[in-house]
Amino acid sequence: MVGTTAICIETGEVVYFKAKATVLATGGAGRIYQSTTNAHINTGDGVGMALRAGVPVQDMEMWQFHPTGIAGAGVLVTEGCRGEGGYLLNKHGERFMERYAPNAKDLAGRDVVARSIMIEIREGRGCDGPWGPHVKLKLDHLGKEVLESRLPGILELSRTFAHVDPVKEPIPVIPTCHYMMGGIPTKVTGQALTVNEKGEDVVIPVCLPWAKSPAYRYTAPTAWVATRCWIWWYSVVLPVCIYRNLWRSRARAVTPANRMWMRRWSA
């Protein structure tokens, strides 16, 4: 039997749950970076719990950075902006992506665009501002009607977090941490893996790292969008189908008071 220790939000009581398996679906750790699209709760707690329990992790050096996060806030500015005809500028007003990706230009892959932006900044061609060094995403040439009909969410985000109106001026952007590629080594069936003394993979049957917690050994290190789509299938949908019978008996808590709370929560 395995389980977890938790705190009841209503009472502050520490409770202990027994279970036939433990699912880790705690998200990534993007908040370790200054600029990130991740929620404030994504601080690597799941990975920390796994390590303290003796479960290994892998590929923790691999992260995907989205090329266009709002400078100073990290809020994601979708590739759709560049798909509609927006483009990136350095402090000299140059469309610098033509140097790094002559064919794809601003529509190059995330890793290419993010790397190009950082080269521009490190070589002194970034823009200065209260948010620190950044580049500009120009959209105003598309016109108000196009922006309001095709990118209304970006208009709202830019006005709220960057305090700029994309209809009139460019958006300050910088590469921002998006995906944690590493995590708990995992089988395609959702079970965690460790290594024995012979260097062979050994399944940890009661630990199920799902969502952003697992690290599949055949995942593209750049978190290509198509890769992420099937990873979500294999890390959520397939394991649910496999283990649904295991969950038919609800986990029992140690304390009677917590059993009452669980019944109230389930209702």
Which residues are marked as active site? 110
Beta bridge partners of 24: 209
- Pairing between strand 214-215 and 184-185? parallel
Q: How far apart are the first and last CA of the chain?
A: 25
Running DSSP on this structure, what letter comes out for residue 168? T
- Pairing between strand 184-185 and 171-180? unpaired
DSSP string, 41-84: T-SSHHHHHHHHTT---B-TT-EEEEEEEETTT--B--THHHHT
User: How far, in Å, CA of 228 to CA of 71, rounded?
Assistant: 25
3-state secondary structure of 214: strand
3-state secondary structure of 4: strand
CA distances from 232 to 7, 173, 216 (A): 29, 28, 11
